[in-house]
Amino acid sequence: MTIDRKEFFSRIWKWMIGMWALISFNGSRLVFSTLKNDSQEDPMAQKTKFIHSWILNLMEKMDENLDEKAKINLLEGCGRACAESHAKADALKHKGNLDGWLRVLKKWVGPENIQMENNAVRVIYSKCLCPIVQDHPPLMSKTYCNCSRGWLMETFETVMEKPVEVKMEDSIMQGGKHCRFLVSWGQTDLSY
């Protein structure tokens, strides 16, 4: 059985809504009882804890219920959407100008964290840059880091005006010291 991209994302969206409802219903009793009983903790900190817990549960359920390709596609799509919302305007300013784009990235992550290698660029983050988990990155499924892969794909493809591949080499979420990605073009055999 094959399904088209639109149907695939429709099914994933419905599944995520169902998971959210289940987690929210079961988790809300705990969260709201905590909100009522723990008046010492800042409500924003409580909300942040809830979000982290929700994301951990979502990733766990995705790993249990989706095949590897579906998980990767879903998180890459999230990363691409994030880039569309938050970085694509900067990438478009450097369309066709890789050196200009790399200068922007060097400002964001530090010049030592962008390394050019023939037809590839290694991008290194010394901390998780995802605003959802950056203040308290839980160790979770490496699937989550495919969001960063999607972000890098979207921005580099915008700048270079051609497809790129992104390989995750290391991840803070998996206990690594850094997040490390290799963005390449002109090669066809990068497994992730």
| pLDDT tens, residue by residue, 167-191 | 999 988 888 899 999 999 975 444 4
pLDDT tens, 27-74? 444 444 444 445 577 888 888 888 888 888 888 899 999 999 999 999
H/E stretch holding 125 reads: strand 120-125
CATH class of 68-192: alpha beta
**CA–CA dist 102, 104 (Å, integer):** 5
Would you kindly state where each structural domain of the chain is located, as residue ranges?
1-65, 68-192
pLDDT tens, 73-108? 999 999 999 999 989 999 999 999 999 999 999 999
pLDDT band at 9 (very low <50, low <70, confident <90, very high): low
Spatial neighbors of 140 by CB under 8 A, at least 6 apart, are 55, 56, 59, 60, 173
